[in-house]
């Protein structure tokens, strides 16, 4: 399962179309709308977590782009302070995308940022507070 938090900007002409629902119907993707401002005759903006197989995820994103939707990844990411991490594995138990996993036989926690959906579950589960949310350079604002 591949999952990512995306920021979608809909052009005025597409705000009345059920594009996000079509992601579920045509591409078998799951979505959770985290925040949205979509009004008729105005640009729409939506933050959603989109998940499914990587192939269908990419096909769904390509579909949205073909409809004129501007797509960006979320304006934050998770980072790990390696000097604080004790490799206890608590974060791996809550990570829905397996971005955090235990490498065997070394028994160390590996962090794959590419798989991370920025759900932030690891941040609260980490006893040493090695995981944190880090803002990226792009910020998105709702009007």
The CATH fold assigned to 78-133 is Alpha-Beta Plaits (3.30.70)
- Sequence-ordered list of residues with C-beta below 8 angstroms from that of 40, at least 6 positions apart, any chain: 15, 16
Q: Is residue 98 helix, strand or coil?
A: coil
Q: How many Cα atoms sit within 13 Å of 100 on the Cβ side?
A: 26
Q: Are 38 and 58 in contact (CB under 8 A)?
A: no
Q: What pLDDT score was predicted for residue 15?
A: 62
Cis preceding linkage at 105, omega within 30: yes
How high is the mean pLDDT in each 10-residue block of the chain (143 residues)?
82 78 94 80 82 93 92 80 95 91 95 83 92 66 39
pLDDT on residue 136 = 64
Identical fold between 2-73 and 78-133: yes
Cα–Cα distances in angstroms (integers) from residue 100 to residues 41, 50, 54, 64, 103, in the given order: 42, 19, 18, 29, 10
CATH code of the domain made up of 2-73: 3.30.70.260
The confidence score (pLDDT) of residue 29 equals 95
Here the tokens at position 113 are 């940022």
Angstrom distance (rounded) from CA 118 to CA 87: 20
Sorted by where each begins, the domain ranges of the chain are 2-73, 78-133
């Amino acid at each position: 399962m591949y999952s990512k938090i995306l920021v979608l900007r809909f052009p005025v002409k597409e705000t009345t179309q059920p594009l996000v629902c079509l992601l579920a119907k045509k591409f078998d993707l799951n979505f959770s709308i985290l925040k949205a401002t979509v009004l008729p005759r105005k640009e729409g903006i939506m933050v959603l977590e989109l998940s499914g197989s990587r192939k269908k995820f990419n096909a769904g994103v390509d579909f949205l782009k073909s409809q004129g939707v501007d797509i960006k990844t979320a304006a934050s990411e998770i980072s790990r302070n390696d000097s604080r991490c004790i490799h206890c594995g608590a974060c791996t138990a809550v990570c829905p995308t397996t971005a955090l996993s235990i490498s065997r036989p070394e028994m160390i926690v590996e962090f794959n940022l590419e798989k991370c959906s920025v759900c932030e579950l690891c941040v609260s589960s980490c006893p040493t507070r090695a995981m944190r949310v880090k803002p990226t350079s792009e910020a998105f604002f709702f009007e």
